[in-house]
Amino acid sequence: MLMSEVKENSKTIHSEENIILHVKGLTKKFNEVIAVNDVDFHVIEGEVLGIIGSNGSGKTTLFNLLSGVLDPTNGKIFALQQTKFKFHEIYDIIRNKFREKLNFGNKIGVNISGYKPHTILNKFGIVRTFQIVKPFKYMTSLENVTVPNIPRFTFSSSTKLKTESMRSLLAVDLGEKQKYPAIILPHGDLKRLDFARAMSTKPKILLLDEPFSGLSSQDAFRVTQLIKNTNKEYGVTIIIVEHKLKLLANLVTRIMVLDQGRKIAEGTPKEISKNKEVIAAYLGKEASQIA
């Protein structure tokens, strides 16, 4: 899309870094409960952003909003379009034209709030994993990673489809278990299968919803290595949701803290561990006074 097509009233972000996701005033209400309350943040290309917060602070709801599973009550999510719409998706083309645009330096972001999950994934390259793993239970692990490949390789040869799926399965060391149905795999393998399923869509932004939950220290180490490799080798931007600051400390470049739906702090892991508001949210006000 050309620069001239951008509306006049669209604002420009002046930043030297390459921003690929910009969230503005995102709010989600479930009847009277406000799960996510006016959250603003941006994500820079190639970084690993950690989001921490106690239970019920709206981390998973934020992910659901970003990936399109839920529609936001208010607010905008600007993302860069990665793939062109095909000719038969005329409804999406028209809708995309009239969407609000935001200038990210030299690229143009589109407001994707309210789009369907598959559109966000296939066109804007944002994919998510699940806190509670959701494998296709009675399908083999190879079939599990074949499904996300199908939208990109709908009419290509079956050999190519299988090769692509096998590659993403081998990347997480599940090549031996390609013919096992997902229902008999242990939890650690399922977490990695979920990771492989997300990665086989060739995303730009990977949303990991508690990738370490229920894992032994050995498995957690494997997942950490996977996340580091994905970020370095494929240049995928990663957003991780996690309870524990400890696991994220060596992994992330930046951390955002949520409390009761609000963003209360943002910064490097060291800054966050000394932040009084964060300590208050985690351990209570008295603890923050001691610190």
Q: Which residues bind another protein (CB under 8 A)?
A: 67, 69, 116-118, 121-122, 127-128, 130, 134-140, 143, 146-148, 150-152, 154, 158, 161, 180-181, 183-184, 197, 201
Tell me whether residue 158 or residue 250 sits nearer to another protein (CB atom).
158
Least distance from another protein to the Cβ atom of residue 200, Å: 9
Burial 255-290 (b: 16+ CB within 10 A, else e): bbbbbebbbbbbeebeebeebeebbbbbeeeeebee
Least distance from another protein to the Cβ atom of residue 78, Å: 21
Residue with tokens 């610190």: 291
Tell me whether residue 45 or residue 143 sits nearer to another protein (CB atom).
143
Least distance from another protein to the Cβ atom of residue 90, Å: 14
Tell me whether residue 126 or residue 279 sits nearer to another protein (CB atom).
126
Least distance from another protein to the Cβ atom of residue 151, Å: 5
Tell me whether residue 146 or residue 275 sits nearer to another protein (CB atom).
146
- How far is CA 242 from its chain centroid? 13
Tell me whether residue 67 or residue 111 sits nearer to another protein (CB atom).
67
Least distance from another protein to the Cβ atom of residue 251, Å: 23
